[in-house]
């Protein structure tokens, strides 16, 4: 059974085929508006979301199927063994999408091989974001084969893990300008797979990283738990100051783009933390493809679901 977990088990052709299918679905929505009749996607959330919920639920509607939203906090998961409850949940759907605090819960669900499972952002991976991002790059560059260099700024995390792996599988150079790795996101096996391709480059030299870049991508490195009513809580002031000093030099802003990579497209998986990893002028810049990225989550996920269901 196929799953969409971390992309380690997806070939370059699997990735390319899903992106091509997503382009085809996006161009011809009427051809696909009944393809998932009577099919149900169960969407189990342990964490909050805007884009993931909207894109999966709307996508299922547009394919003629149905998406059921389950908030783990308001179900019986707290009262029982996870392995039992998740097996019961999977009896009601054709695909399970999970936004989990820990990847191990996604892996457990997938291990039953009852229905295909999608990791919709755990602490380690975000494959749907990656496939949506690659769709965005394919559209803006006129094909994935035209994308040569992607830069990731800030912190190495779940989003950069799957982006890095997919880029390297496709022969795209990825430059990581990351003074820190988010410890809970580390997957040594994934790192080795990506490193072995020779397409991963690590540097803190912005000029070197950004020269000739096609896309510059970032994600949050500030923790919103540090704030109360817009002010930094006293107990987090030291950590807040540390993060500003560490990451602010790698902020994605217009000065950075215009000075080092005037042709690069600006990417962010959202939600944006304005004034930290990105600025308003970068979000609104002519090179920004951020809102296309958000929409493309839906088109990519339609293709993912069809691929997992063999349709």
Residues found near ligand CP in the complex (CB under 6 A): 49-52, 121, 129, 269-271
Q: Least separation, in Å, of the C-beta of 139 and ligand CP?
A: 18
Q: Least separation, in Å, of the C-beta of 269 and ligand CP?
A: 4
Closer by beta carbon to ligand CP, 257 or else 290 = 290
Calculate ∠ Cα 76-105-277, nearest 5°: 110
Q: Least separation, in Å, of the C-beta of 281 and ligand CP?
A: 21
Residue 228 in 3-state DSSP? strand
Q: Least separation, in Å, of the C-beta of 63 and ligand CP?
A: 19
d(CA 96, CA 306) in angstroms, rounded, equals: 13
The tokens of 8 are what? 């380690």
Closer by beta carbon to ligand CP, 52 or else 157 = 52
Closer by beta carbon to ligand CP, 62 or else 130 = 130
CA distances from 137 to 97, 144, 167, 207, 290 (A): 24, 7, 11, 22, 11
Q: Distance between terminal CA atoms of the chain?
A: 14
Closer by beta carbon to ligand CP, 285 or else 297 = 297
Closest CA to 166 of 200, 143, 139: 200
Q: Least separation, in Å, of the C-beta of 53 and ligand CP?
A: 6
Closer by beta carbon to ligand CP, 128 or else 193 = 128
For residues 219 and 155, the answer to whether their CB atoms sit within 8 Å is yes
């Amino acid at each position: 059974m196929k799953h969409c977990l971390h992309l380690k088990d997806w070939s370059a052709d699997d990735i390319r085929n899903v992106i091509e299918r997503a382009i085809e679905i996006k161009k011809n929505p009427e051809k696909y508006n009944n393809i998932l009749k009577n099919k149900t996607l169960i969407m189990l959330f342990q964490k909050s979301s805007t884009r993931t919920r909207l894109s999966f639920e709307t996508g299922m509607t547009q394919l003629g199927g149905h998406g059921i939203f389950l908030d783990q906090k308001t179900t019986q998961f707290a009262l029982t063994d996870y392995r039992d409850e998740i097996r019961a949940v999977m009896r009601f759907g054709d695909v399970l999408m999970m936004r989990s605090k820990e990847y191990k819960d996604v892996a457990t669900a997938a291990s039953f091989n009852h229905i295909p499972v999608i990791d919709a952002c755990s602490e380690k991976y975000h494959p749907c974001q990656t496939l949506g991002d690659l769709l965005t790059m394919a559209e803006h560059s006129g094909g994935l084969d035209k994308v040569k260099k992607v830069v990731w700024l800030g912190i190495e995390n779940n989003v950069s893990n799957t982006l890095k792996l997919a880029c390297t599988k496709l022969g795209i150079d990825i430059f990581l300008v990351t003074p820190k790795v988010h410890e809970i996101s580390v997957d040594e096996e994934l790192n080795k797979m990506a490193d072995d391709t020779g397409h991963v480059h690590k540097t803190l030299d912005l000029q070197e990283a950004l020269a000739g870049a096609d896309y510059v991508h970032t994600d949050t490195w500030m923790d919103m738990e540090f704030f109360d009513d817009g002010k930094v809580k006293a107990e987090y002031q030291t950590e807040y100051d540390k993060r500003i000093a560490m990451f602010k030099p790698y902020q994605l802003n217009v000065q950075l783009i215009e000075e080092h990579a005037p042709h690069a497209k600006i990417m962010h998986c959202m939600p944006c933390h304005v004034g930290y990893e990105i600025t308003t002028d970068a979000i609104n810049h002519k090179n920004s493809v951020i809102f296309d990225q958000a929409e493309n989550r839906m088109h990519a996920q339609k293709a993912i679901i069809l691929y997992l269901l063999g349709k």
